[in-house]
Structure 1
Amino acid sequence: MEKIKFDKDIKVFYVNAKSFPEGIQEAHQKLHSLITFSKDRKYFGVSRPEQGGEIVYRAAAEELESGEAEKLHLETLVLKKGEYVSITIKDFAKDIMSIDRAFKELLALPDLDPQGYCVEWYYNEKDVNCMIRLK
């Protein structure tokens, strides 16, 4: 387990998954069909309980240019700057449930931001940081 610090807010646009966890892959595929891949862009999975406790999952990408989300007709949210507690998973596709286990471990920690998200940061094609913002 480690800590990662974001020095500035990250505005992302997203595609909602139709269901959780079944709709996650479809949401990411839809998002990637709308934008050209860029090594300069950060890609995320963002989730938290909403609407009476049901988990809402969003496949998200960092907005690189102002107005990009509006051009794509996508909603936005902000991943707040600050310190995040994180677990890195190498080659997550070999054990997709490792993401679920990582978040269960992180959610048991004290001092989490009660308004924060469970954030998957896909920083390359094989690896992911599972993160939650601290208070």
Structure 2
Amino acid sequence: MQPTATVLVYSDDSNTREQVRLATGRRPAPDVPLVEFVECATPEAVVREVDRGGIDVCVLDGEAVPMGGMGVCRQIKDEVFGAPPVLLLMGRPQDAWLATWSRADAAVTLPVDPMEFAETLASLLRRKRLQNA
């Protein structure tokens, strides 16, 4: 059985969650595990899943309503010991400073560019694997 990585995707918009799934495919790069998704549409669901454990990377929509991914990111980085790496989806490149404020590990802009997204997600999965080694 092949190893898998669990990627949490938070957005109130099902189309954004679909963009993430399609950009990732079965795996974002040949040298990382197959990906299984946990989808969340509310901030409370994100916190509950991250608290439960087993999440390798979080992908958070900075444009989500009622609480954007930047606020959710900062909350889990503050409240969850050993929080997983976070890939933030930003509405504008000018929001990069907010991604830094939120303590996101990486950020890409919306709409999702499949190549950029897959490359960034794969780098976070590699980093997570090295931390666990």
**Which bracket does the TM-score occupy, shorter chain normalised?**
under 0.3
Structure with the higher strand share, 1 or 2: 1
Give the greater-gyration-radius structure (CA): 1
Structure with the higher helix share, 1 or 2: 2
| TM-score (ref. length: structure 2) | 0.27
| TM-score (ref. length: structure 1) | 0.27
